[in-house]
């Protein structure tokens, strides 16, 4: 582009942090709700908040990935094509005789690619829901889509420097849209497929007809971090529908759903189709917060991702389950399905921690190593079994029916 100015992407508003607890489950705005929308839920002790799929769940799984040479080669090819595409567009721009015509043509190209990626993802979800794809293949396809999105985003970013303000804003809209295909869990899926030994390799997957939730536990930097992303394509407004919900209205709706004061929300940017916010609930005050993309037509949260430092204090402890011979006790501390949990095996009388194997529905997850096993919490109805020698004890994962805390008033 001829211009080196930075396009306007929205006002960044930094707001003061102070402490109030989150609320109970908060529905989406009643006048904007739709079948594909989600619901913001909170753990019963008010420690964690997350965007949940509202529609009927089609698939639930927890899967372990290993290095995949074919996927790694495909990902590297896309990265190489990204570098080539940027070189090409820079050269074409330099030789263009009509700046506006050049930018218009290139923006149409990246807009078409973005629409194709959205369709490709929706088709992939439908194929997975129909049982045509394994969970491993599903995650590989999402990683490829994320890498393709990054390649397209590099071109869109270049076009945000267009001399024509309208075209620059359009390019920025596309650039921001493409972030929704590049969640933090997909980044870690890609690392696992590349064979990165420090990357997490166990992932939670949940889908509905128009929604995807992914989660993992990342211990690569020496500190356990829970990473989650939720994308609800069905929560979006029609492409030809109005996009007239303003920032104040959207901010109020988001804080209402998460049950926190508007003093805990940071507006990061606003574009034609959505606003991007980052929430800083008190319990996340020292962390990255929760990032959302909120549709300006429906008022729904379409994309949420979060990275939370794992702390045992955020879990809910359940009554221990004894083995038949009362020689082994299993204690679990949970958050929510797809969240994180701890499993501890002990001697019932002495309380001594035991080294045993933990499995979910017959599939081995790991060992307690004379302590607790940190793991992804499986879906409700799953059976967790702890085994030490010839002793074993099982427990079924169920909802905790204790009453959540009431929402706090805004200060």
Judge contact between 388 and 379, C-beta under 8 A.
Answer: no
In the chain, what are the domain boundaries?
38-309, 315-396
For 194-219, write each residue's pLDDT tens digit: 888 888 999 999 999 989 999 999 99
Reading the block at residue 342, the tokens are 């701890």
Whether the predicted pLDDT of 408 surpasses 70: no
Write the CATH number of the domain with boundaries 315-396.
2.60.40
pTM for the whole structure: 0.83
Residue 190 CB coordination number (10 Å): 23
Pairwise CA distance, residues 262 & 277, whole Å: 11
Q: Which residue has the higher pLDDT, 283 or 2?
A: 283
The residue count for the chain: 411
Residue 248 contacts residue 328 (beta carbons within 8 Å): no
Q: What is the mean pLDDT of the chain?
A: 81
- Summarised one tens digit per residue, pLDDT across range 236-280 is 877 666 677 888 888 888 888 888 877 778 877 778 888 888 887
Instruction: Determine if residue 300 is left, alpha or beta; phi over 0 gives left, psi from -120 to 50 gives alpha, anything else beta.
Output: beta
Kindly tell me if the per-residue pLDDT of 30 is higher than 90: no
Look at residue 375 and tell me whether its pLDDT is greater than 50. Answer: yes
């Amino acid at each position: 582009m001829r211009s080196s100015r930075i396009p306007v992407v929205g006002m960044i508003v930094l707001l003061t942090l102070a402490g109030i607890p989150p609320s109970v489950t908060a529905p989406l705005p009643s006048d904007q709700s739709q079948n594909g929308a989600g619901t913001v839920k909170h753990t019963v002790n008010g420690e964690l908040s997350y965007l949940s799929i509202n529609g009927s769940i089609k698939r639930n799984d927890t899967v372990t990935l290993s290095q995949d040479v074919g996927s790694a080669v495909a990902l590297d090819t896309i990265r190489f094509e990204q570098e080539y595409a940027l070189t090409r567009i820079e050269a074409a721009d330099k030789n263009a005789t009509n700046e506006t015509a050049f930018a218009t043509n290139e923006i149409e190209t990246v807009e078409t690619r973005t629409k194709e990626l959205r369709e490709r993802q929706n088709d992939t979800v439908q194929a997975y829901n129909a049982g045509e794809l394994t969970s491993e293949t599903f995650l590989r396809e999402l990683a490829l889509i994320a890498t393709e999105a990054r390649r397209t985003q590099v071109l869109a970013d270049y076009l945000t420097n267009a001399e024509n303000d309208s075209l620059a804003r359009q390019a920025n809209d596309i650039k921001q849209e493409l972030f929704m295909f590049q969640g933090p869990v997909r980044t870690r899926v890609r690392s696992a497929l590349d064979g990165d030994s420090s990357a997490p390799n166990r992932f939670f997957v949940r889908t509905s007809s128009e929604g995807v939730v992914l989660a993992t536990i990342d211990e690569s930097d020496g500190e356990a971090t829970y990473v989650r992303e939720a994308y609800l394509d069905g929560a979006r407004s029609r492409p030809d529908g109005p996009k007239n919900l303003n920032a104040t209205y959207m901010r109020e709706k988001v804080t209402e759903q998460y049950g926190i004061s508007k003093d805990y929300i940071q507006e990061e940017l606003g574009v034609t189709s959505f606003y991007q916010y980052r929430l800083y609930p008190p319990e996340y005050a020292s962390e990255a917060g929760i990032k959302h993309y909120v549709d300006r037509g429906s008022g729904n949260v379409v994309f949420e991702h979060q990275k939370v430092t794992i702390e045992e204090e955020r879990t809910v402890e359940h009554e221990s389950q004894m083995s038949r011979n009362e020689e082994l006790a299993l204690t679990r501390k949970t958050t929510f399905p797809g969240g994180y949990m701890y499993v501890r095996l002990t001697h019932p009388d002495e309380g001594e921690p035991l080294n045993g194997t933990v499995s979910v529905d017959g599939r081995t997850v790991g060992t307690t190593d004379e302590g607790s096993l940190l793991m992804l919490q499986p879906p409700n109805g799953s059976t967790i079994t702890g085994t030490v020698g010839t002793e074993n004890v099982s427990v079924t994962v169920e909802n905790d029916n204790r009453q959540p805390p009431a929402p706090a008033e805004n200060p």
